[in-house]
Chains A and B, each alone.
Chain A
Amino acid sequence: MAMAIDTALPAGRTLKLALDKDELIKRGLMVVIALYLIVALAAPLYVMLSKSFSTYSFDLARFEFQVSDAAGNWSEPVTAAALNDKIAAVSPEALATNSDGRLQATSFFPDFSFRSPVKYKIRGTSADASYLVGLQLHGGTEWRELGSNEFRRVMLRPSRSIGLENYTTYFSTPTLFRSIENSVFIAFISTIVTVGLAFGFAYALNRSCMRFKDAFKLVAMVPILVPSLLPGIALIYLFGNQGMLKDLLMGASIYGPLGIIVGSVFFAFPHAMIIISTALAISDQRHYEAAASLRASNWRTFWTVTIPGARYGLISAAFVVFTLVITDFGLPKVIGGQYNVLAVDIYKQVIGQQNFEMGAVVSVILLVPAIAAFIVDRMVTKKQVALLSARSVPYQPKPSRRFDTLCLAWCSLIAVFIVGIMATSQLAAVVKLWPYDLSFSLRHFAFDRMDGGGWASYYNSIRLAGLTAVFGTIIVFVGAYMVEKTEGFRTGRSAFQFLAMLPMAVPGMVLGLAYIFFFNDPANPLHAVYGTMTILVVCTITHFYTVGHLTALTALKQIDQEFEPVAASLKQPFYRLFARVTVPVCLPAILEISIYLFVNAMTTVSAVVFLYSKDTALASVAVLNMDDAGDVAPAAAMAMMIFYTNAAARLIHLFLSKVLIARTQAWRMR
């Protein structure tokens, strides 16, 4: 391009724009939101990763003792290692422990008696050895003299080393690594089934003239409004040990892969349907006219025009479903039985065995498929954008009796499945005692009589959802605005963009565990938020950050990029433009983000299951806990409460959108 006689750039410094108040505010805001993402995402994940490489063991050579006789004459110093060699008080296996491990010092002194006048001295042989006396942590190489009564309260603390040991243990434990296979199998089968069903459904909605399209669309969206635990509970009611339709399974058990797959299809269906439907909706009528003019058969047209046109949508849907299923925790927890999957393993390791390091290892392993699926999905989504052309003519389906009937049958089948699951859950919630006494009763809604947090947990959930919706929308939208509409500061912005995309790839369980590691560390100045509503809100916003971010970006990209220069030339601060133009124009997207956050905050289990405390129990977690405790009917009732709330929120959102849009979007009407 440049001419041959290109003279060189004169030496000197590259000019930099003088910062004005506007730019300073923008950068300040960007730093605040980037900081948010670092604290709420990057740092916890980093801590978790490092945890997975940490092993803890008692290094006996690091501790040295001296014992006195009754007269006060001290013996020669001797290390715990030497003592152990002599009496084999602690087996080598018992030396491996976790970060909370404690080893009683008296175990090296078989003839210890706390009443004896004998005194003890203890010290570390290196500065990083540490031990507890009672609750007080000590360390260092100074001798500490203790009476017998105090010495019995001395606990040696393990030392930390970095290595792949946890991973070695994981892969040499068949019961653990078996879960990888199980998880991938479940996710794979669920993906095929869900995408197949959803494609047929979306195809019928877009390409046929069948009736009741709106009703079908509505029904297909229902699973989004409920926690993934609900299909599990409903399936147990239908096919479980006392299930109404148990015989239909002909001996097969719903507890295990079958139940997980059927339930996964239920909750993943709407996600796949939306993506595929969008892909099918953008196809071009002219392609079909061309195919018809070339006398291609319907079958050939389907494979040469329809499928290629929707292929990015199909691939994207497949990866979304795969990620959703493999990272889901609630459903396999409820219906998985003995069938272990990765997400539940994390829970078992952490809550059941208190083995946080192993929990971290499983988390890292779960991150791999999730991140892989995420990367492929991003690549595909980028390509799909290029497919859109402003000159496309939308496809207009023509009525065809046979085809429309077929479509109607297909959609009805799926609708029956969804409605059936919902109806079962509803029924379970309001009958007295399934399946023996089917009379109507509201007694299962008396949550205060069950474990799990009672009605308080429901109100907590509403608070969480409300706070998440409000603060999440603000953070997400302002963040997206900073990425999309600021000039310069390029590295910062792309780092920010990366952080904003990351939550999509991080399973909720992993995020929750990472939060434990990060926020439950007493050394962390943010430790105070642990166990509060704040951490739940932060965690939920972060968990669902990406979709909101993408929605906001899409809306912002549609706004003329010259608005900012124009406003600046008119000497108006950017925040005035933001308030007067950007926000009003993006209002539909903003409302969409807020309802998305609300609904998900109501239904999420995975991230928050590690983080709730006695005072911040949540409805979705209550479903899990009540089900765990055998109170399945109240669990179904609480799941239905979540559904009612989300359905109501959706309705209010719809109404609000209508009102607000009528008031602020008059300009959209020509």
Chain B
Amino acid sequence: MRHETLAGQPRTPTDVSAMTAASLNVKPAYLEISNVWKAFGDFHALKDISLDIREGEFVCFLGPSGCGKTTLLRAIAGLDLQTRGTIRQGGKDVSTLPPSQRDYGIVFQSYALFPNLTISKNIAFGLENTKRPRAEIEARVTELLKLVGLPEQGNKYPAQLSGGQQQRIALARAIAISPGLLLLDEPLSALDAKVRTHLRHEIKELQRKLGVTTIMVTHDQEEALSMADRIVVMNHGVIEQIGSPTEIYRHPATLFVADFIGEANKFKATAEKGSVSFGSKTFKCAAHSFDAGVSVIVAIRPEDVIPHGPGARSPGAPDVVKEPANLLDVTIGEMEFLGSFWRTRLRGADLGDETLIADFSINAARRLTLTEGTALTVELPEERLLVYPGGQ
């Protein structure tokens, strides 16, 4: 179903992000990373990374541990120099500059607040020693405390604040010197789930307000999806995909991305023209570039499986709105209640030994009276079938 805007433009979520990206495209690249390598002996932690980040953009480096995301951030910060390649910031080559001569503020997972200095002194740390008058520093500290929502806390010591509060102070300290670039190294990982969700929102708000170009490293996909303008998915030292959260989620460029972000059923399949076949069936799918007969892997996200109730193919069945294709007869194996939806494991003759995992909303489950052992027909929508090179 499509939402019509006033101008009659189709606006699916994908299109929205495409537009956002387009508007951002106008701005020049603020940070240009070209052909960056990082070698630790024979191991290459970064392999030929090239990436442009535009001014004011919020970019997340996302990937499993050891993928090189932190290494890349530390190269940008000048903390661990890249072995090869150049990094330009604001048009200036900063490749080999020491941290003190680069222009960024940084926030670490550990907060790294100076324990023996009060909150105010912590925030003022980068402002002092710069010939700024005392009153100006004080005013700036007060302003920053208010900005991060912790006014009146200035005289406390870091140990007297909660983790979330400490991280906000760390953020205030980093932006105090108005850096051109804000680097966040897993800033939320040490926090409780509730605080994390809350702070996620606040950091994003703050970033939008300040318009500061921001790079955040995270291994938490939810964090990346909810905060970033663009996500850089990394694995084994290479960039797997760069795109808006919706692009990354809806159109994962590689099997790794499909698997790492969200969840995906994967089936070994054989490519046909305009379709793929796996199990004992052939399914229509979006155009792909594989020759017929090539073995591929087909992926589909559990929430994209549409339930149609038993015998959906018989004419007049109430659930079938349009001509369904890619239908599959299955039986529900186990059902797992996950709060807002049911996770079901579906088996069927057409699937062979494979199991299809599908998430059905509470409503759908009630409507179709789904229980363990229920036989039903599901649809694998053709535009949601993702095809990747197989092999191995």
Q: Does B117 contact A (CB under 8 A)?
A: yes
Q: Does A665 contact B (CB under 8 A)?
A: yes
Q: Does B252 contact A (CB under 8 A)?
A: no
Q: Does B236 contact A (CB under 8 A)?
A: yes
Chain B residues with CB under 8 Å of A670's CB are 159-160
Q: Is the CB of B96 within 8 A of A16?
A: yes
Within residues 625 to 656 of chain A, which ones have a CB less than 8 A from any CB in chain B? none
Residue from A15, A569, A572, A585 in contact with B106 in the complex, judged by beta carbons closer than 8 Å: A569
Q: Is the CB of A18 within 8 A of B96?
A: yes
Residue from A14, A22, A566, A571 in contact with B112 in the complex, judged by beta carbons closer than 8 Å: A566
Given contacts A563-B112, A667-B158, contact A15 B99 (CB under 8 A): no
Specify the chain A residue showing the minimal Cβ separation from B118.
A667
B28 CB to nearest A CB, Å: 24
Q: Does A369 contact B (CB under 8 A)?
A: no
Q: Is the CB of A668 within 8 A of B159?
A: yes
A565 CB to nearest B CB, Å: 5
Given contacts A566-B106, A569-B99, A664-B116, contact A7 B48 (CB under 8 A): yes
Within residues 226 to 275 of chain B, which ones have a CB less than 8 A from any CB in chain A? 236-238
For the A-B complex, the count of residue pairs with Cβ-Cβ distances under 8 Å equals 124
Given contacts A9-B37, A565-B106, contact A560 B43 (CB under 8 A): no
Q: Does A23 contact B (CB under 8 A)?
A: yes
Q: Is the CB of A580 within 8 A of B77?
A: no
Residue from A15, A17, A664 in contact with B98 in the complex, judged by beta carbons closer than 8 Å: A17
Which one, B78-86, B140-148, B298-306, B312-320, is touching chain A?
Answer: B78-86
Chain A residues with CB under 8 Å of B35's CB are 10
Q: Is the CB of B100 within 8 A of A571?
A: yes
Per-residue contact bits, chain A 524-555, to B (CB 8 Å; 1 contact, 0 not) = 00000000000000000000000000000000
Chain B residues with CB under 8 Å of A664's CB are 116
Q: Which of B48, B84, B116 is the most central at the interface, judged by chain A CB atoms within 10 Å of its CB?
A: B116
Chain A residues with CB under 8 Å of B95's CB are 15
Give the complex CA separation of A585 and B116 in angstroms.
Answer: 7
Q: Does A192 contact B (CB under 8 A)?
A: no
Specify the chain A residue showing the minimal Cβ separation from B74.
A565
B88 CB to nearest A CB, Å: 14
Q: Does A164 contact B (CB under 8 A)?
A: no
Chain A residues with CB under 8 Å of B100's CB are 20, 22, 568-569, 571-573
Q: Does A200 contact B (CB under 8 A)?
A: no
Q: Is the CB of A22 within 8 A of B98?
A: yes
Classify chain B: how many residues form its interface, as a range.
35 or more
Give the complex CA separation of A665 and B117 in angstroms.
Answer: 10
Given contacts A1-B43, A571-B100, A572-B125, contact A10 B157 (CB under 8 A): no
A638 CB to nearest B CB, Å: 42
Q: Does B63 contact A (CB under 8 A)?
A: no
Give the complex CA separation of A7 and B48 in angstroms.
Answer: 9
Q: Does A570 contact B (CB under 8 A)?
A: yes
Per-residue contact bits, chain A 10-42, to B (CB 8 Å; 1 contact, 0 not) = 101011111110110000000000000000000
Q: Does A666 contact B (CB under 8 A)?
A: yes
Specify the chain B residue showing the minimal Cβ separation from A581.
B114
Given contacts A568-B99, A572-B126, contact A581 B43 (CB under 8 A): no
Chain B residues with CB under 8 Å of A7's CB are 47-48
Q: Is the CB of A585 within 8 A of B115?
A: yes
Q: Does A562 contact B (CB under 8 A)?
A: yes
Q: Does B66 contact A (CB under 8 A)?
A: yes
Residue from B78, B84, B117, B130 in contact with A10 in the complex, judged by beta carbons closer than 8 Å: B84
Chain B residues with CB under 8 Å of A3's CB are 236, 238
Chain A residues with CB under 8 Å of B84's CB are 9-10, 12, 14-15
Q: Does B9 contact A (CB under 8 A)?
A: no
Chain A residues with CB under 8 Å of B23's CB are none
Q: Is the CB of A563 within 8 A of B114?
A: yes
B123 CB to nearest A CB, Å: 10
Per-residue contact bits, chain B 97-124, to A (CB 8 Å; 1 contact, 0 not) = 1111110111010101011110000000
Chain B residues with CB under 8 Å of A9's CB are 37, 39, 44, 83-84
Chain B residues with CB under 8 Å of A420's CB are none
Chain A residues with CB under 8 Å of B39's CB are 9, 14
Q: Is the CB of B98 within 8 A of A667?
A: no
Q: Is the CB of A10 within 8 A of B43?
A: no
Interface size on A, residues (CB 8 A): 41
Chain A residues with CB under 8 Å of B116's CB are 581, 584-585, 664-665, 667
Chain A residues with CB under 8 Å of B177's CB are 570-571
Q: Is the CB of B115 within 8 A of A667?
A: yes
Q: Does B137 contact A (CB under 8 A)?
A: no
Chain A residues with CB under 8 Å of B179's CB are 569
Chain A residues with CB under 8 Å of B176's CB are 570
Chain B residues with CB under 8 Å of A570's CB are 105, 125-126, 173-174, 176-177
Chain B residues with CB under 8 Å of A19's CB are 98
Q: Is the CB of A565 within 8 A of B77?
A: yes
Per-residue contact bits, chain B 142-182, to A (CB 8 Å; 1 contact, 0 not) = 00000000000000011110000000000001101101000
Specify the chain B residue showing the minimal Cβ separation from A585.
B116
Q: Does B369 contact A (CB under 8 A)?
A: no
Q: Is the CB of B98 within 8 A of A18?
A: yes
Q: Does B5 contact A (CB under 8 A)?
A: no
Give the complex CA separation of A580 and B125 in angstroms.
Answer: 10
Give the complex CA separation of A570 and B130 in angstroms.
Answer: 11
Specify the chain A residue showing the minimal Cβ separation from B39.
A9
Q: Is the CB of B83 within 8 A of A14?
A: yes
Q: Does A2 contact B (CB under 8 A)?
A: yes
Q: Is the CB of B98 within 8 A of A568?
A: yes
Chain A residues with CB under 8 Å of B110's CB are 560, 562
A44 CB to nearest B CB, Å: 37
Q: Does A576 contact B (CB under 8 A)?
A: yes
Q: Does B280 contact A (CB under 8 A)?
A: no
Chain B residues with CB under 8 Å of A214's CB are none
Residue from B82, B101, B108, B112 in contact with A20 in the complex, judged by beta carbons closer than 8 Å: B101
Give the complex CA separation of A467 and B387 in angstroms.
Answer: 76
Q: Is the CB of A10 within 8 A of B81?
A: no
Give the complex CA separation of A584 and B183 in angstroms.
Answer: 28
Q: Does A413 contact B (CB under 8 A)?
A: no
Give the complex CA separation of A98 and B108 in angstroms.
Answer: 64
Within residues 40 to 71 of chain B, which ones have a CB less than 8 A from any CB in chain A? 43-44, 47-48, 66
Q: Is the CB of A569 within 8 A of B77?
A: yes
Q: Does A87 contact B (CB under 8 A)?
A: no
A261 CB to nearest B CB, Å: 48
Residue from B43, B44, B108, B115 in contact with A566 in the complex, judged by beta carbons closer than 8 Å: B108
Q: Does B129 contact A (CB under 8 A)?
A: yes
Specify the chain B residue showing the minimal Cβ separation from A664.
B116
Q: Does A567 contact B (CB under 8 A)?
A: yes
Q: Is the CB of B47 within 8 A of A6?
A: yes
Specify the chain B residue showing the minimal Cβ separation from A559.
B115
Given contacts A2-B237, A15-B82, A17-B81, contact A569 B105 (CB under 8 A): yes
Q: Is the CB of B81 within 8 A of A15?
A: yes
Q: Which of A9, A10, A487 is the most central at the interface, judged by chain B CB atoms within 10 Å of its CB?
A: A9
Given A581-B114, A581-B117, A585-B116, 6 additional A-B pairs, CB 8 A: A3-B236, A15-B82, A17-B78, A566-B173, A570-B176, A670-B159
Q: List 12 A-B residue pairs with CB atoms under 8 Å apart, sorted by A's residue number.
A: A2-B43, A9-B84, A10-B84, A18-B96, A487-B79, A565-B112, A567-B125, A568-B98, A569-B183, A573-B100, A585-B115, A667-B116
**A-B CB proximity, top 8 nearest:** A570-B126, A568-B99, A562-B112, A667-B157, A20-B98, A562-B108, A581-B114, A568-B100
